Amino acid sequence: MKGNAAEGFPAATGFTWTYGKKPCGCHRGRGGVLYRCAYVCVFGGGALAAALFLSLHPTGIAFAAMKGVFAMSKTIVFSGSATALVTPFTDSGVNFDTLGQLIDFQLDGGTEALVICGTTGEASTMTPRERADAIAFAKQRVNGKIPIIAGTGANNTASAIRHSIEAQEAGADALLVVTPYYNKTSQHGLVKYYTDIADAVDLPVIAYNVPSRTSLNIRPETMELIARHPRVVGIKEASADITQIAQLARRCPDLAIYSGCDDHVLAIMAFGGRGVISTVANIAPKQMHDVCAAFLCGDVAKSRELQLALNPLADAMFCDVNPVPVKTALRLMGYDVGALRAPLCDLLPQVQAHMEQVMRNYGLIG
């Protein structure tokens, strides 16, 4: 069964965000990158008190006046929910028919951006040609409605630079760059790694901190140094360390922080985060969109309700190594996503049975 069933979720929020314009009056520029609106949330007594509208110069430098004080911020690639999209495969390469269906499903669900060739997309198993073709296809398919973010990080700076240049040539609007893994580096080395990559391209760069996969953590003080580069505009934070993320928000007020954990979206947005780069949104794009939309529109109570309702499904998508569960889930929903590429392998029967029951509870399968 294909679709986006709402059973198992609270009533719809009622927010109607279209791809080109949102209720706040935000518009998109070339490639879907936001150029006129940013959200600054001011909290008092635990409640959302105000949102300051920023007028953005087309270069991405934002100037705002509040009580006579001017603030400046970086390019905003997106606010809300971005999906780290799976890559459907055939025996010989990328299944572009299914990739198009998945992209359309995301657009219909209100997703704000797509990450192509990320971890969930099994990028480490893809050839350079497959990566470039997938990025170019996604760019053409969305037709400027939302930005395409390409995953380009590596454990070799030269390879990461090459991936980044190729992604730019393929039409990506921004880059998601994971820290070096296995051979890793020092905190000083991280500053040089991101600086070298950002110097090599003309695109906004979003750093990706996921110590559970890389055994390397970007400390807040290190990210503060990295963010001095004008093209480093954000970070996907998947450390699951809320204390660290609070320190990061304090040190880097102009940096867009995106949750890398589907169950921490509300918490990170409460610290000023702009949204999420999500796995569960592959199968529930509208539901994750609504979590973010409610918060950004000032309805924190609704966002909390939606986040808590979504968490059991998000947990089920991590019952095994990502993207094994979510790719299996899409297959159960009727999408021909093909096989996982080794060393990834299918779920054990008992694990899949549990995941299927959770999906039934949410009305995603019969």
**Single-letter code of the amino acid located at 119:** T
Q: Is residue 270 part of a domain?
A: yes
- pLDDT tens-digit profile of 144-156? 999 999 999 999 9
From CA 213, how far away is CA 210, in angstroms rounded?
6
Q: Is residue 119 part of a domain?
A: yes
Residue 73: the pLDDT is: 65
Long-range interactions of 356-362: CB distance < 8 A, separation 24+: 356/332, 358/312, 358/313, 358/316, 359/283, 359/313, 359/316, 359/329, 359/332, 361/8, 361/312, 362/5, 362/7, 362/8, 362/9, 362/284, 362/313
- pLDDT tens-digit profile of 194-231? 999 999 999 999 999 999 999 999 999 999 999 999 99
| Alpha carbon 225 to its chain's center | 22
Domain span holding position 240: 80-303
Residue 142: the pLDDT is: 98
Total number of domains constituting the chain: 1
pLDDT at 364 over 70: yes
Q: For 86-111, b where at least 16 C-beta lie within 10 A, e where not — what string?
A: bbbbeeeebbeebbebbbebbbebbb
Task: Over range 300-322, report the average pLDDT.
Answer: 98
Q: Which helix (H) or strand (E) holds 108?
A: helix 96-108
Q: Is residue 285 part of a domain?
A: yes
**Single-letter code of the amino acid located at 10:** P
Residue 37: the pLDDT is: 36
Residue 54: the pLDDT is: 32
Task: For residue 39, indicate whether it is catalytic.
Answer: no
Q: Is residue 362 part of a domain?
A: no
Nearest alpha carbon to residue 39 among 14, 57, 18, 64: 64
Q: Is residue 34 part of a domain?
A: no
Structure-token pair, residue 315: 């947990």
DSSP 215-267: S----HHHHHHHTTSTTEEEEEE-S--HHHHHHHHHH-TTSEEEESSTTSHHH
Query: Which residue is catalytic, options 22, 74, 139, 236?
Result: 236
Residue 74: the pLDDT is: 85
Query: Which residue is catalytic, options 208, 258, 335, 362?
Result: 208
Residue 36 binned pLDDT confidence (cut-offs 50, 70, 90): very low
Q: Which residues are registered as beta bridge partners of 114? A: 83, 148
Q: Is residue 45 part of a domain?
A: no
Return the half-sphere exposure (C-beta side, CA atoms, 13 A cut-off) of residue 228: 9
Q: Write the CATH number for 96.
A: 3.20.20.70
Q: Is residue 360 part of a domain?
A: no
Residue 358: the pLDDT is: 98
Q: Is residue 361 part of a domain?
A: no
Task: For residue 208, indicate whether it is catalytic.
Answer: yes
